[in-house]
Structure 1
Amino acid sequence: MLIWLDPSVLDADLNANINATHGIDCIICSAHRGEHFVIGDRHTLIELQKNKALSLTSRAALGHIIANYANLAAFSRTLATRITASHNKHGAPLKINATTWELPIETIGQIGISKAVLVAENLNDAHLFEHAALQYKARGKLFGAISITKLGGGGSTTPDCLNDHVTKEKRWVLCISDSDRLHPEQSMDLTAQKCAAIAATFGTVCEYQDIKAREIENIIPFKFLEEAIPPTHAYPWDQHCKQVLTAAPEAHEYGDLKSGTDLRKIFAYSVGSPQKIFWINIANTLQKAGNISLNCLAGGTCASSKHGQPCTCIVIHGYGEKILEAVVDNLSKRTPQKSCEMIKNDPNQEHWFGIGKRVFEWGCALPRIRS
């Protein structure tokens, strides 16, 4: 993450204020290790480099930043997400706006600095988000490295994992999770609501973002999904692309792409509920367009259930629980540049690179400085 050294840090007596001295050392050494992107105005950096109360490592790193100041300062202005490190203004981290926090160097000196943390529901999700960030960086030909600690929260226990790292360990955390929305107007589920509440806690450095569709699978670029579809499901996927996406594209965003969405599931929703209304409308739209034949739609009941058989009226096909894992595996086998080329004009580009930008800005760091 970008850490901006506010000019007020020059007012700290680094010979007497141990916490302030350690705080500035922590900040600058994090840039030396390639964990954060540290900069300030040129005068502030030059004056800090002269201060012999700072470690030799910090002063050498400051020299590197000053020598490359023009390029680093220009790039820093493109990053919205940042920490402003100041002196003697307040004790706890203060959220200035949606993407900016202010922390006293004394507080940083007391708790130290580690890499920013990315908390997702599981590690596959976290790896996928990192791939989105790498592709966002490649597409924009952006400077810097991505340095972030990835954690899997364990699905429903994600709020507990997030709370531990934000409020107990005082880490700087970006959390992204599924919303499990079944229709466009649905609110976040309970897990997402808990995560959002933790991120809003006073005195923390945390951002929460939920997936606006049902799950992460629903916003993966189509080309990445297509190459991950097992051969046994190639025909349903072809029909999905030719028929469902043409007549009812919103069905892709809120359908269950792992297990599928059939009429039996839709009929099971509460009468008059928004999700039932939404999915009955989807089914009707697909049937009227001649894309699918749903034998039980008019009757409102699943005939197969009477005989204990699986529902055969498929609205959205499922492609298996391992689909996301397969996508991550494929992305790991080629360069981010090549993946970017594959998804030009993809309908899910906006979703994909929106996540990529958030992860990139939270993990943005100077390349490790070689002493």
Structure 2
Amino acid sequence: MYDLICIGFGPAQLATAIANREAQKPCDAVFIERKPAFSWHKTQLSRMRMENPFIFDLATTRNPRSGFTYSNFLLSRNRLIEFANSDRLNPLRMEFEEYLHWCADQFKDQVRYDSEAIQVTPEKVDGVVEHWNVVVKDDKGKSVKIQARNILAPSPAEKREQKPQPPSLPTTNFLAGQRIVAVEDYASRRNEIRDQREVPLNVALVGSGHQIVEVLDDLLSCPRLGNITVVSENESLAPLKSLSDGPEPPQPKLCSIWAKPTCEQKTSVSSASELIQHIYDRAYEKMVATKGKYCLRVVMGRDTAEPCSAADVIIAEQALRQLPRSGLFRDIDSLVLGCRQKGESLEEVQFKRGAVIESCRMWMVAGHSEGGRSLVKDISLQAGEVVNRVTTSASVTELKEHGQAGMAIAARM
């Protein structure tokens, strides 16, 4: 019986492993990862940096003296002074990936790689859930059942590793010489697109992910390109509207499987990330330098017909297939009321009254910020919160098993 089973071994689960190792009395935890080794999504452009400063790593905000801070990683690589001299607080993405691997390598004994959690079922005693059963299938197809009092699972929003399909661009004029480049291939086609030409190349980008935003930033750094058009549903890219417009009503958003709708105000360029502001700065410089001949155009929506009609090259994000409804938690759906947001990265599953004992919990965790360019800022703090809850429950359970709990002292005055 484990105290904690973590499904997946991404940055959020890695932060949990670090917090647990540094706990006063670590709990018995295991991590189930279907990949053969730790991996993190790679940037297509190695010069790109994390959006958050290095202090928002896997440990610093929870424990600045931790041996797993980004500073300690740099020290181990003899790059701490050079990083400080670079005068940039935001790490390179490729270097931050190296940091994550450095941390993950120190937990190999706790991770079951090449294993996939395929079902979570409740174990009831007298009609009340006392622990969870997790069915795990290894790479050879063999299934085993492991038990735990607590489960940390990835938020469904993070499970986007489906095989992509080509985007629908029915109006693309191949006969006119238009070419489509997948955003994943941009790094290898970058020099070809940005090359010197007699007539500047017009480029269109289609997609809403962080890679499209990074490619857009890179394209605007090339003065030889012509008009750049973006077709996207990414609200952070939306241009400012008329100053006389009032604030738009917030849009409902579902944040997890069982979550109730929450409201979030749409962002504007003035309150957007540093990268988005930088993109609009570059776009304005481009318009001024060419006296309005070439500019950036942002079209919100999905219709690519008119926006892409004049493009010589279309850089398209491959559309992800719709995720099938997960069967992992189908056996506990009837026990759940919803999810309570505990922070930017964590939700605690709320169960019906009397259905689950107090020491038996479940959390949903998300490791990446909305733009996907950085970790969620509170990832290390929330990992510490989970470990604290688990270790406290484990201590109480241990006392009960040894008959040392429930002691009461009565006194008569």
Q: Establish whether TM, by shorter chain, passes 0.5.
A: no
TM-score by length of 1: 0.24
Query: Which protein is richer in helix relative to its size?
Result: 1
Query: Which protein is richer in strand relative to its size?
Result: 2
